[in-house]
Structure 1
Amino acid sequence: MIANAQINEPNIVNGVNVDDLFALIEGVRGDASKAATSWRVATTWQGQTRSRAEVEGFAIGGQEVSRRFTIDIDEPCELGGSNQFANPQEHLIAALNACITVGYVAQCAVRGITLQSLEIETEGDIDLRGFLGIDADVANGYESLRYTVRIKGSATKQQFAEIHDAVMATSPNVYNLANAVALKSTLLVE
């Protein structure tokens, strides 16, 4: 007689394998070297104001992981571009929104909260006098970003408020934009 083998289905919440997420958390708790990640993007000029950013991979816990993506970037015609793609500021906002989204999805998943919808809308203002070098007293980028999170799911308002606080406290891109990041450049003239 053959015994019935029990197949353990992964615990999937909001499309996230929660078992794998908890395994990652426990692995990092047990060995801090597994927490190290390294990200890189190479960008090349494509003519006019267009550029192409290429992702070839990243490293996690000392292991290289191959990934192949391209991100095309341009400026609106009004800023000298051809308006073929989103511009760098829109990519910056999109990266912030995407990072916050991942935080909400993961925070909800580990709590067993099912999401029905999630939308993050972010906006900011840039005064071109700074970017164009017209007025040194004007910032050449965003001085603030305003965002609204619309969320619906199986949690209470209090639970979503706690999740919001956790996302804001742990999001890498919230941190990156809210704190000064040291930029270390090397110029190679060929």
Structure 2
Amino acid sequence: MAIEVFNAVTESIDGLQVSCRARDFEFTLDEPKNLGGTDTGMNPVEALLASLGACKVIVAKSFARMHNIKLNSIKIELSGELDPDGFMGKNPNAKIGFSKMTSNFYIDADNTQEEIIAFVEFINRTCPVADTIKNTPVMENKIFL
């Protein structure tokens, strides 16, 4: 199968607000007031957590039938531990990004506990966002002045 290319455009709006666009969709990211924003949207790390959770839900819904999982509902609560002193340059020893990310799965399925655990392991192995976080891609920057 050919490689698919996905695109997004981000652009400064006002203060720390950022317009995020992909295809015909748009949303705004911002920072909470205590981090210098106006709190008009999720911040980028919250959006990353939401993207990770959404990806896992989509994988679950897409592959449940193939794995004989009778999925009634799925919810994933995500949390990430981040020391803002790393990003703010206040502590050179603090990690800049998340040091830990946790996914709490709430699954209602007509399956055994063992089947559900195996399915969650499959979800975590198959989620493209999780794979991107765990196995960082080549990062390339081009500057246009």
TM-score, normalised relative to structure 2: 0.93
- Aligned pairs for 1:1-190 (under 5 A) are 32-33=1-2, 36-56=3-23, 68-189=24-145
Structure-2 residue corresponding to 1:8: none
Write 1 or 2 for the structure with the bigger share of strand. 1
CA deviation string 1:44-93 (max 9, x = no partner) = 1111000111112xxxxxxxxxxx10021111011111101111011000
Secondary structure, counterpart of 1:47 in structure 2: coil
Secondary structure, counterpart of 1:38 in structure 2: coil
Secondary structure, counterpart of 1:138 in structure 2: coil
After TM superposition, the runs of 4+ consecutive aligned structure 1 residues lying more than 6 A away are: none
Q: Name structure 1 gaps, 5 residues minimum.
A: 1-31, 57-67
Q: Work out whether residues 107 and 163 of structure 1, in 8 Å CA contact, stay in contact via their aligned partners in 2.
A: no
CA deviation string 1:120-158 (max 9, x = no partner) = 111112111110112221111101101111101122212
Counterpart residue type for residue 51 of structure 2? A
| C-alpha separation in 2, matches of 1:168 and 1:113 | 16
Following superposition, the deviation at residue 113 of structure 1 comes to 3.1
| C-alpha separation in 2, matches of 1:100 and 1:43 | 24
State the aligned residue count: 145
Q: Percent identity?
A: 22
Counterpart residue type for residue 12 of structure 2? W
Q: Flag the structure with larger Rg.
A: 1
Following superposition, the deviation at residue 112 of structure 1 comes to 4.5
TM-score, normalised relative to structure 1: 0.72
| C-alpha separation in 1, matches of 2:102 and 2:109 | 23
Counterpart residue type for residue 9 of structure 2? A
| C-alpha separation in 2, matches of 1:136 and 1:184 | 25
Counterpart residue type for residue 49 of structure 2? I
Q: Name structure 2 gaps, 5 residues minimum.
A: none
Q: Work out whether residues 82 and 100 of structure 2, in 8 Å CA contact, stay in contact via their aligned partners in 1.
A: no
